Amino acid sequence: MGKKKYAGALLATLATSMIGLQGMSAPPQQTVTLQQGIGPAVVPHATVFGNTPANTPVTVSIILKTQNTAALQQFIQNSTTPGNPQFHQFMSTAQFAQQFGQPQSVIQAIVNYFQSFGITAYVYPNNLDITLNGTAGEFDQAFSVNLENMGLQGQNFHGVPGPPKVPANVGSPILAVLGLTNYSPFVSNAVRVPQSVLSKLPNRGSSSNTPPTGVVTPQQMEKLYNITPLQSQGDEGQGETIGIVTLASVYPDDPYKFWQGYGISVKPNRINYINVDGGSGAPSEAAGSSETALDIEQSGAIAPQANIDVYEAPNTDYGFVDAFFNAISSNQVDSLSASWGESETIINYLIQQGEESPGYAQSFNEVFMEAAAQGISTFIAAGDQGAYDAINDTGYGTTTNLAVDDPADSPYVTAAGGTTLPWSDIPNNFGSSLGIPDSVVTTQRAWGWDYLWPYYSIFGASSEASFAPNFIAGGGGGYSVIFSQPWYQNGVPGVSQYHAVPYLTPIDKDTSWSFNPNPSVISGRSNGGRAMPDIAMNADPFTGYNIYSTTFGAGQEWGSGWGGTSFVAPQLNGIASLIDAKVGGRVGFWNPQVYQFAQQPNSPFTPMNATGTSNDNLYYTGTAGTVWNPATGLGYPNVADLAQSFASESEGPAATGPAAPTPPPGPGAPNGPAGP
């Protein structure tokens, strides 16, 4: 396939001229070193195979610095504060670009520079992301680097042994350069009941005919969180568009077969698949295609009449960031979710090693600020290792320190946490076949698999002490060390102080754990960082869900025993679509609004503030009399009441602001509808 031609994307080949007297040498041009995503110090860990052939196609994304950041932050706060003249008066992409993107003169200078090497450029409508397509040889010259082919941890990729450099006038507005290394760092936040346990369960593995039993169905989930009244009133997401950002492709018919299996009548031809930076490649379970399947299936089951735009990008630093920039700057989706991430621990480790840059996490935060300004509600999975989200992240050994997940740590997204349902709520549940009594969980609690540790022998372990440190799963939560506490969390009961149950110590080193089966409750104070999660719902695979995915294999398309905060993020995405349909427009960034709802006498949330080992995410637990904790955030929602809270906070329907201009076709041009 030849190179795409992007209308309006500044692709003209520039003529160059020499200024000054012939024979005179120009003064040396000052250069600046640029920050990367996955950077050059990955090289010492990798096997280098040789120089990347000069004609190898390479994609690089240039992320630019947001202008007038303080004004942008104030606008976001105003647009989510009832009574403010700007409340729910969201921006178009063009308005955002004019006020907070880089000036056209800056954009043109950057584009001109790279085009002088034969590199083509696509400028996103928000004026904060420029995607470059060229060859390895062209980028070697443009960035004064030497691209090399490498291998690490089973991956083959290209990278550079030194930092990129460009002239100062080109580099000063650049926040980060992504794509000079195309290593795949992100993992899905989906978790399955261990296969060793599934193999013991009758009719619980997979079936190609009907959904396996013993899990939560979409209809049960909708009743548990009181979503059904909205659907009964006719609010099914009609007129709304759900956005999914993912790093793996999916077989287009799979979501429809999931909905059909559960008897859910959906809008036909509702899914658009949008390839970003060339897309995610062919569907495969190794790539995480079941993650994409569940994202579409869960959000679309809750909002059966909504359209769904799926942004599929390569699992690279530039791919993940560009997928968000594409979805948000096109401004076609009303709500958005993603269920991929990496821990802050690995980000900071890679920064220290020179393998990532501080600008990388900020790249996500920039685009989430744009989403908030444009009224797009964004939900990100908080992680699935409880308070220890970095446990298997580094690739260089186990780390046991407390950590939260990125990009869920951004103050401008709603971080989706996890709970465990009472086992008796699920007839014929997994535990009944394993000999674990329903009394193991009698009320909805924070998801943490410590409640299963005493049953170690069922899982093939010799003792609880040996089993616990190797059976780490729970809803992600804690305090960011990258982002500060945002305004909407100030003064919220429970945010500044916490209680915890230290089963495992230490909590701050790369080391092995000591296990305490009967921990005392301890207390601590926030580090002043962004506190997460924000909202929690059922995520425990033992009270979990089914996925339909062709990648499971022929005759095995129905996969049982799945869970993770990967389910909660798209479920909230679907819920947002119902709420937008009810109020008649976008309600925008949830967090400033839901934190206010949670502090009112008629809160639509049930705070899970019980203290102790029956309500923890392997470390953090609840605190009596509070509305928030690091295990479950504000708790779980009564969605009908939540929708009413959104509807009641303004006299008129929410406004989406001026319509965004239709973006030119670019690296994320839609492929068109898919499905029957």
Domain boundary residue, one of 144, 178, 212:
178
Q: Which of 1-5, 82-86, 152-156 has the lowest mean pLDDT?
A: 1-5
Q: Which residues contact 192 (CB under 8 A, 6 or more apart)?
A: 198, 541, 559, 561, 562, 563
For residues 136 and 262, state if they share a domain: no
For residues 230 and 301, state if they share a domain: yes
For residues 115 and 211, state if they share a domain: no
Q: What is the rounded average pLDDT of the residues 361-374?
A: 96
For residues 267 and 392, state if they share a domain: yes
Q: Is the pLDDT of residue 503 over 50?
A: yes
Q: What are phi and psi of 355, to 5 degrees?
A: -90, -15
Q: What is the rounded average pLDDT of the residues 10-34?
A: 37
Domain boundary residue, one of 151, 178, 205:
178
pLDDT given for residue 189 in this prediction: 57
Q: Please choose, from the candidates 152, 121, 118, the residue with its C-alpha nearest in 3D space to the C-alpha of residue 136.
A: 118
CA–CA gap between residue 375 and residue 212 (Å, rounded)? 38
CATH number at residue 582: 3.40.50.200
Which tens digit of pLDDT belongs to each residue from 437-452? 999 999 999 999 999 9
Q: Which of 181-195, 602-616, 659-673 has the lowest mean pLDDT?
A: 659-673
Q: Is the pLDDT of residue 348 over 60?
A: yes
pLDDT given for residue 317 in this prediction: 82
Q: Is the pLDDT of residue 673 over 60?
A: no
pLDDT top residue among 258 and 152? 258
> How would residue 504 be classed by pLDDT, with cut points 50, 70 and 90?
very high
Structural domain boundaries, residue 142 = 31-66+101-178
CA–CA gap between residue 579 and residue 604 (Å, rounded)? 13
> How would residue 153 be classed by pLDDT, with cut points 50, 70 and 90?
low
Question: Residue 528 belongs to what H/E stretch?
Answer: none
In-domain check, residue 87: no
Q: Which of 1-10, 330-339, 474-483 has the lowest mean pLDDT?
A: 1-10
In-domain check, residue 467: yes
Q: Which of 249-263, 318-332, 390-404, 644-658 has the lowest mean pLDDT?
A: 644-658
For helices 639-648 and 591-598, angle between their N-to-C axes, nearest 10 degrees: 110
Which tens digit of pLDDT belongs to each residue from 404-435? 999 999 999 999 999 999 999 988 888 877 88
Indicate yes or no: pTM above 0.85: yes
* H helices present in 6-103, as ranges: 69-79, 93-100
Q: Most distant CA pair in the chain: distance in Å?
A: 89
For residues 157 and 212, state if they share a domain: no
Give rounded-to-5 percent helix, strand, coil for the chain. Answer: 30, 20, 50
Q: Is the pLDDT of residue 668 over 50?
A: no
For residues 146 and 207, state if they share a domain: no
In-domain check, residue 244: yes
pLDDT given for residue 114 in this prediction: 96
pLDDT top residue among 204 and 74? 74
In-domain check, residue 599: yes
State the total domains in the chain.
2
DSSP string, 142-193: HHT---EEEEETTEEEEE-SS--EEEHHHHTTEEEEE-SS-----EE--EE-
pLDDT given for residue 676 in this prediction: 31
**CA geometry: angle at 498 spanning 497 and 500, to 5°?**
155
Q: Which of 181-195, 365-379, 469-483 has the lowest mean pLDDT?
A: 181-195
For residues 364 and 394, state if they share a domain: yes
Q: What is the rounded average pLDDT of the residues 315-344?
A: 93
For residues 362 and 431, state if they share a domain: yes
Q: What is the mean pLDDT of the chain?
A: 86
pLDDT given for residue 84 in this prediction: 95
> How would residue 509 be classed by pLDDT, with cut points 50, 70 and 90?
confident
pLDDT top residue among 65 and 281? 65
pLDDT top residue among 6 and 343? 343
State both tokens at 561: 């025993």
**Which is it for strands 414-420 and 535-538: parallel, antiparallel or unpaired?**
parallel
pLDDT given for residue 210 in this prediction: 83
348-377 in b/e form (b: 16+ CB < 10 A) is bbbbeeebbbebbbbbbbbbbbbbbbbbbb
Q: Is the pLDDT of residue 632 over 70?
A: yes
Q: Do 475 and 590 meet the contact criterion of CB atoms below 8 Å apart? A: no
pLDDT given for residue 395 in this prediction: 53
Q: Is the pLDDT of residue 657 over 50?
A: no
pLDDT given for residue 35 in this prediction: 54
CA–CA gap between residue 448 and residue 540 (Å, rounded)? 8
For residues 252 and 269, state if they share a domain: yes
